Amino acid sequence: MDESRARVVEGDLLTLVEADVEGRKYLAKAVRHDTHKIKGIGIVNTGNLIGSEYGLKVKLGAKEFYVLPASAVDKYSTVRRKAQIILPKDAAQIIHGCGITAGCRVLESGIGSGALTISLAQAVAPGGKVVSYEIREDFMNWAKENLESAGLDKLVEFNLRDVTKGMDERNLDAVILDVPSPADAVEHAWNALRPGGYLCTYSPLISQVEAAVSRMRALPFIEIMTVENIQREMVVGERGTRPSFDMLGHTGYITFARKVCEMNKKPAGTCGDTGGKKGTEISGRCE
């Protein structure tokens, strides 16, 4: 970090990490003469933080906080929840598994509280775009506020619509479905993706996975794979180390598939009907 960025300047998005309570943190924006309430802290004039050195503690009210530049992790972990969120262990797998990098165009459906949206927007910045479909206006508005707090709302296009009724976008790099019936949007996703683009579904129930994979196998998709992430923290002590008793077990099944332009032969190990049924006409073009 150069000298000019070693201190807080006006407009910086900050993370205030409570010194006495590990893991408790808050987002704030450094603005002169801006006094407002930060839930969990109280009334704060963030302008007073301008000029503070990053990494040192400041006193706000009766508590002390470390002042740090807001990272992608901070933006994710401080999301105000209205709906169940996709946890970081799964969000990281989704972003890596779909090859999402700066400049990508991504569509997600099922915005919820906007946690995954924050990670996607951070990944595609500065030149990319996230298109979000959501059928519930209250969820969409809630997620918008979280994206605004994270300073990422300009990278996201919000649409109040049902993804199972179709997608207008074409040549997308990735489509991510976190909806009750992802199988009903698989054909629409194929149409919306570019050749080589990725489809990802996130489902808590294996029956949802089976239905979605059945539809994927009936379309020109390859590299179909489903994973489940189990995360266990290690408690490291001076006298020994042990696994944490609080393991992050099942949260959801993540399925990936990649669009191609020609049907492959029936995958080895499959049997019976592929689940093909009449539905949306495949209109995507592979040049």
pLDDT digits (tens, 9 = 90+) for 151-171: 999 999 999 999 999 999 999
Q: Check residue 267 and give its pLDDT.
A: 53
Confidence of residue 278 (pLDDT cuts 50, 70, 90): very low
What's the CA gap between 90 and 215, in Å, rounded? 23
pLDDT of residue 192 exceeding 90: yes
Q: What is the DSSP string of 220-263?
A: TEEEEEEEE--B--EEEETTEEEE-S--B----EEEEEEE-SSP
Q: Is the pLDDT assigned to residue 189 strictly greater than 50?
A: yes
Q: Across 165-213, where does the E strand assignment appear?
A: 172-177, 193-203
What is the residue type of 234?
M
Identify the helix (H) or strand (E) that includes residue 256.
strand 253-259
How far, in Å, CA of 280 to CA of 184, rounded?
10
Q: What is the pLDDT of residue 279?
A: 45
Domains of the chain: 3-70 (3.10.330.20), 75-259 (3.40.50.150)
CB 286 within 8 A of CB 171: no
Average pLDDT, stretch 11-33?
A: 85
Q: What is the pLDDT of residues 93-117, one digit of tens each?
A: 999 999 999 999 999 999 999 999 9
- State yes or no: cis peptide before 126, omega within 30 of 0: yes
Q: What is the pLDDT of residue 5?
A: 67
For 34-40, what is the mean pLDDT? 75
pLDDT in tens, 135-153: 999 999 999 999 998 899 9
Q: Is the pLDDT of residue 254 over 50?
A: yes
Segment 34-54 mean pLDDT: 82
Q: Work out the average pLDDT over 200-209.
A: 97
**What's the one-letter identity of residue 141?**
N
Q: For residue 274, what pLDDT band results from cuts at 50, 70 and 90?
A: very low
| Rounded Cα–Cα distance for residues 196 and 174 (Å) | 9
For residue 187, the SS3 value is: helix
Sorting pLDDT into bands at 50, 70 and 90, what band is 35? confident
